[in-house]
Amino acid sequence: MNTFKLILGIESSCDETGIALYDNDLGLLCHTLHSQVALHDEYGGVVPELASRDHVQYILPLIIKALQQAGKSLQEIDAIAYTQGPGLSGALLVGASVGSSLAYSLGIPSIGIHHLEGHLLSPLLSTPAPAFPFVALLVSGGHTQLMRVDGTGKYTLLGETLDDAAGEAFDKSAKLLGLSYPGGAELSRLAEGGRPGRFRFPRPMLHSGDLDFSFSGLKTAVLNACNQNLLNESVRADIASEAQAAIVEVLTTKTILALKQTGLNRLVIAGGVGANRLLRATLDNAGKQYGFNVFYPDLQFCTDNGAMIAYAGAMRLKIQKANEHYQFNVMPRWDLQSLNIA
């Protein structure tokens, strides 16, 4: 396969427009980001139509800004990687159409990237980068999965959530506590002032013996606690603290089991919930206790960004043919394992 030196990455699957330039020899040159959090805040969640329109507004200015930051011209780009799915179809179409049109006008190839592959590979942008194989805990707003990763395009699903994602559990609990969307980071800040042990929420499937998760019951427990107590500041903090403790305990227990079952000793945490401080501290401690190393993406690359898409694009172009026909589609639902290289 060809190696393309300079890759432009475009992320627009949900509520962040992210652009980056990755150089195969020099690494990440720059990245620019526009978050729509303020836009969706008053609706308590992402409004797909507004998300698409906002991506349209920001995508080209962010590309221009990224080129300026890196001191590069459009003509120096060798290939364009855009998020093809999963995500909101209208939002994905913005990145896919801009990426494909730009590639066509420059006469260079484009490639559609799986958003979760971007998250999975994002810790490889940091130093030290984990070597393959590793276990990845993918914890984002829409996904909670444990994966065995043997290389780019070599993914085995070990377990996943049967209902809500961990990020969703954070966000729904946060909403019940009156925090603004998306809520995960705010809930964890509120939890810092809470007293552990005042509430006790369920840890579903903790001892199920498999690597699957379930978080929907937690929302009900948080709802009941909110309804049954006077929600002053200290009670809210105590509820937040217990909600966070429950999510982190389940994630940690299943992750340790995945490492035991696979016999691997490298763990990668990817996705927005990977920014959670309690989760990081708990997994770091478990690593010391059980003898595994934990790798995280840079904090700024835990949540959605263009850098992980540019990087995944660079890696994919080494093992897969680029799209040179400029016909594109988006995949709002897309199984990562369907991309596996034999």
> Residue 74: what residue type?
L
Task: Write the burial class of residue 43 (CB in 10 Å: 0-12 exposed, 13-18 middle, 19+ buried).
Answer: exposed
Tokens standing for residue 95: 């990145």
Among 36, 83, 110, 140, the residue binding Zn ion under the rule CB under 5 A is 140
- Of residues 140 and 214, the one with the C-beta less far from Zn ion: 140
DSSP 161: B
DSSP string over 209-245: SSS-B--HHHHHHHHHHHHHS---HHHHHHHHHHHHH
**Per CB under 6 A, 194 contacts ligand KG4:** no
Q: Judged by CB under 5 A, which of 94, 304, 315, 323 binds Zn ion?
A: 304
Collapsing DSSP to helix, strand or coil, 256 comes out as helix
Distances (CA, A) of 76 to 7, 8, 68, 107, 146: 9, 10, 12, 12, 38
Stretch that binds ligand KG4, among 148-156, 184-192, 202-210, 320-328 (CB under 6 A): 184-192
Q: Which is nearer to Zn ion, 140 or 152 (CB)?
A: 140
To the nearest whole angstrom, how small is the minimum distance from the Cβ of residue 159 to Zn ion? 19
What is the spatial distance between Cα 221 and Cα 245, in angstroms, rounded to a whole number? Answer: 13
Strand 16-23 to strand 6-11: parallel, antiparallel, or no bridges (unpaired)? antiparallel
Binding range to ligand KG4, per CB under 6 A, among 32-40, 71-79, 165-173, 258-266: 165-173
What the block records as the tokens of 235 is 């009670």
Residue 82, classed as helix, strand or coil, is: strand
Is 272 a binding residue for ligand KG4 by CB under 6 A? The answer is: yes
From ligand KG4, Zn ion, none, which one binds at residue 275 (CB under 5 to 8 Å depending on kind)?
Answer: ligand KG4
Choose, by CB under 6 A, the member of 106, 185, 226, 231 that binds ligand KG4. 185
- Can residue 273 be called a binding residue for ligand KG4 (CB under 6 A)? yes
User: DSSP string covering 53-78, please?
Assistant: HHHHHHHHHHHHHHHHHHT--GGG--
CB 83, min distance to Zn ion, A: 9
**Residue 102 gets which letter from DSSP?**
H
Considering the rule CB under 6 A, would residue 88 count as an interface residue with ligand KG4?
A: no
* Amino acid identity for residue 266 in this structure: R
Q: Kindly tell me which residue out of 9, 184, 204, 297 binds ligand KG4, with binding defined by CB under 6 A.
A: 184
- Looking at the Cβ atoms of 86 and 99, the one nearer to ligand KG4 is 86
% helix, strand, coil for the chain, step of 5:
45, 20, 35
What φ, ψ does residue 119 adopt, rounded to 5°? -60, -45
Find the shortest distance in angstroms from Cβ 18 to Zn ion.
10
The only residue of 18, 85, 159, 167 in contact with ligand KG4, by rule CB under 6 A: 167
Partner that binds at residue 11, options Zn ion, ligand KG4, none, CB closer than 5 to 8 Å by kind: none
Among ligand KG4, Zn ion, none, residue 276 binds (CB under 5-8 Å by kind)? ligand KG4
Number of residues counted as binding ligand KG4 (CB under 6 A):
19
Choosing from 91, 294, 304, 336, the residue that interacts with ligand KG4 (CB under 6 A) is 304
Write down the least CB distance from residue 25 to ligand KG4, Å. 28
Output 2 or 126, the one with its CB closest to ligand KG4.
126
Which residues of this protein are in contact with ligand KG4, per CB under 6 A? 14, 140-142, 167, 170-171, 182-185, 188, 271-273, 275-276, 303-304
